[in-house]
Amino acid sequence: MASNEPAHEHREEEEATGADDEDTGAQVAPIVRLEEVAVTTGEEDEDAILDLKAKLYRFDKDGNQWKERGAGTVKLLKHKETGKVRLVMRQSKTLKICANHLVIPTMTVQEHAGNEKSCVWHAADFADGELKDEFFCIRFASIENCKTFMEKFQEVADSQKKKEENEDASTAAGLLEKLSVEDKKPEEKSEEKAEEKTKEDDVKEVKPSDNAEKKDETASA
């Protein structure tokens, strides 16, 4: 009998513990209430014109090999005011930026040799906080996504080229207009001098007549 007592007591402790773990249905209010904090991504003034899942690589010149930069979402973002477009890619879990550069007219994207799901391009990238000349390779889950990326990338580069040409034309027109205005200024000055001279001549013509009138008045007196 004495040998069964410890086991009996152990069972009673388990039952008591199990009873403590049971859900009573009571609701306990949190001690500290957390407030929502607005997180800025730097993309608030931009519209996404492309958003795809991919894996990014950069070419390591020293090691002469491709190194993975991260897997996540690649976006083409167009600024609402300036119209400039940049490529931004963040890692899916950490949201760390692994690519961040403007898409400019001189850029071209090409299919990676031997892989229809990948393409490559050069860029002055700012992902590490300073401009670096990088050679990127991006790989997608499907050939369709890769083609979509390449077409949109090239379309943006071409549109930026036209935008720059229009801006250059507007700037040139402004300079020509400014020069034409400056050319007119000497003429305006000469016209003003001519008008002043005419006024002086008119004054000179008036003065003798005044003197003549005075002499006539003296003679009559």
Q: What is the pLDDT of residue 1?
A: 47
Mean pLDDT by groups of 10 residues along the chain of 221 residues = 51 52 62 66 90 97 95 97 96 95 95 95 95 97 97 95 75 68 55 61 52 50 48
The helix/strand/coil state of 169 is helix
Q: Which residues, in sequence order, are CB contacts of 83 under 8 Å at separation 6+?
A: 163
Q: What pLDDT sits at residue 166? A: 75
Supply angle C-alpha 43, 49, 53, rounded to 5.
85
pLDDT at 179: 72
d(CA 60, CA 165): 35
Two tokens at 70? 């991260």
- Report CA Rg, the chain: 41
CA-to-CA distance for 122 and 147, rounded, in angstroms?
A: 18
Instruction: List the one residue out of 54, 216, 10, 26 whose CA is nearest residue 149.
Output: 54
Q: Tell me the C-alpha distance between 145 and 152, whole Å.
A: 11
Residue range 54-110, pLDDT digits in tens: 999 999 999 999 999 999 999 999 999 999 999 999 999 999 999 999 999 999 999
Q: How far apart are CA 71 and CA 180, in angstroms?
A: 56
The DSSP call for residue 3 is: G
Q: What are 100's two structure tokens?
A: 């961040």
Q: How many C-alpha atoms does 115 have within 13 Å on its Cβ side?
A: 12
Ramachandran class of 6: left when φ > 0, alpha when ψ lies in -120 to 50, beta otherwise:
alpha
CB contact set of 13 (below 8 Å; sequence gap of 6+):
none
For 80-191, strand residue ranges (E) read 85-91, 97-102, 110-111, 118-125, 132-139
> Which pLDDT score, from 0 to 100, does residue 157 have?
94
Q: pTM for this structure? A: 0.61
Is residue 112 helix, strand or coil? coil
